[in-house]
Amino acid sequence: MELYSGHINKLISELANLPGIGEKSAQRLAFHLINMPEAKVKKLAETIVDAKEHVCYCKECFTLTDGEVCPVCANERRDHGTIMVVETPRDLAAYEKTGKYRGVYHVLHGAISPMLGIGPNEIKLKELIARLEGDVEEVIIATNSSLEGETTAMYISKLIKPTGIKVTRIASGVPVGGDIEYIDEVTLLRALEGRIEM
């Protein structure tokens, strides 16, 4: 038996299709939207449609932007000779929040995963290689520490090393606030290998 009418069920169903939104969260959001003033709901709907119509990939780094080139790539004060390779625009945003990285980025939009049928041609690798024809001095590989991220990092490294461009990998290890006794062996080994002088 359905608890709600057709329109409410349809709204809950559509909201539940969003990533990270379960059935209960979808119900909460649906009732919140229904109780919002109509003008605010229309503004939200227009904003979603507007973003869908106008947001595209940056022609240089492939992050999401509403212009031809994103603000990072357009900034002449950034170090365009250093490219950090990330999996998603969310990863780019996380590094930008640190305020410490002054280079530019390249967003792959995924990672190599033979199990899921995602090969090198399904992510933005050809575009990365094309960018290396410029004055690039270093490529920092900042993919996740998952099996897919490590596979992608190794693949990129093997592609770039013959060009003579410096290839580095972000350090990984014990997280801040983590108890060593609960950390897995691979993470501890990485922390040990990536140690720095104090």
- Residue 55 in any domain: the answer is no
Share of the chain above pLDDT 90, in %: 70
Confidence check: pLDDT of 47 > 80 = yes
Strands 138-141 and 56-57, sheet pairing: unpaired
- Residue 2 in any domain: the answer is no
Nearest alpha carbon to residue 80 among 133, 30, 40: 133
Q: What is the CATH number of the domain that holds 84?
A: 3.40.1360.10
3-state secondary structure of 186: helix
- Residue 27 in any domain: the answer is no
- Residue 189 in any domain: the answer is no
3-state secondary structure of 183: coil
Confidence check: pLDDT of 153 > 60 = yes
- Residue 192 in any domain: the answer is no
What is the reported pLDDT for 1? Answer: 45
More confident residue, 89 or 5: 89
- Residue 17 in any domain: the answer is no
Q: How far apart are CA 28 and CA 21, in angstroms?
A: 10
Number of domains forming the structure of the chain: 1
Taking all residues of the chain, what is their mean pLDDT, rounded to a whole number? 89
- Residue 36 in any domain: the answer is no
Q: What range defines the domain where residue 94 resides? A: 78-171
What is the reported pLDDT for 157? Answer: 93
Q: How far apart are CA 172 and CA 185, in angstroms?
A: 12
Radius of gyration in angstroms for the set of CA atoms belonging to the chain, rounded to a whole number: 21
Q: What is the DSSP string of 15-58?
A: HHTSTT--HHHHHHHHHHHHHS-HHHHHHHHHHHHHHHHH-EE-
pLDDT tens readout for residues 176-194:
676 767 777 777 777 777 7
- Residue 156 in any domain: the answer is yes
